[in-house]
Amino acid sequence: MLTYGDGVCDVDIRKLLKFHENSGKILTMTAVQPSGRFGALNITEDNTISSFKEKPQGDGAWINGGFFVCEPEVFDYIEPDNDYETFERRPLEKIAADGKLQAYKHSGFWRPMDTMRDKTELNQYWESGNAPWKVWDNQNTFAGR
């Protein structure tokens, strides 16, 4: 299991692992669809705004959610002496090009923790007692999973 540690989600780890085990791939990436952050405009050729939608649900694209299941073969794609290589560049690109990368589509809660705005929003969820990513109970087991 691998995560960047800069995001939270309510992905069911057991289902993700089972999906990976059945895929036959060396790497499974959790794919998510981020929510929109800004109002979206449709603009005609004469610059008339024909429609406006405040913070729509993204553009429908799936992105890297930052939660992975890896087989040891993944290390074959990482250059041990290259301190400047990021996992997202050559290793992930090459694994995908070799047909060994699988997407686990997660439609539940996912948020990054990249900006102060993200931190504030996630802290509000936590402080309200309604943090969707908190899927464990008081015994440190996964609740309902």
Give the three-state DSSP class for 31.
strand
Q: What is the CATH number of the domain that holds 40?
A: 3.90.550.10
Look up residue 105 and give its amino acid. K
Residue 137, pLDDT score? 64
Q: State the average pLDDT over residues 112-137.
A: 92
Task: Tell me if 103 is assigned to some domain.
Answer: yes
Query: Count of domains in the chain?
Result: 1
Q: Are 59 and 37 in contact (CB under 8 A)?
A: no
**Within a domain: residue 99?**
yes
Within-domain flag for 144: no
Residue 145: inside a domain:
no
- Where are any strands of DSSP class E within 1-145? 2-3, 7-9, 27-32, 40-43, 49-53, 63-70, 101-105, 110-112
Q: Higher-confidence residue: 140 or 41?
A: 41
In a domain, 116, yes or no: no
Report the predicted TM-score, pTM, of the whole model to 2 decimal places: 0.80
The answer to the question of residue 96 being in a domain is: yes
Query: Is residue 58 included in any domain, yes or no?
Result: yes
145 Cβ neighbours under 8 A, 6+ residues apart: 12, 13, 14, 135
> Is residue 41, in this structure, part of any structural domain at all?
yes
Residue 144 has pLDDT above 60, yes or no: no
Question: Confidence class of residue 145 from pLDDT cuts 50, 70 and 90?
Answer: very low
Task: List, for residues 47-97, the tens digit of each pLDDT value.
Answer: 878 888 776 666 678 899 999 999 999 999 998 887 788 888 899 999 999
63 is in which domain, residue-wise?
2-110
The C-alpha atoms of residue 6 and residue 38 are separated, in whole angstroms, by 21
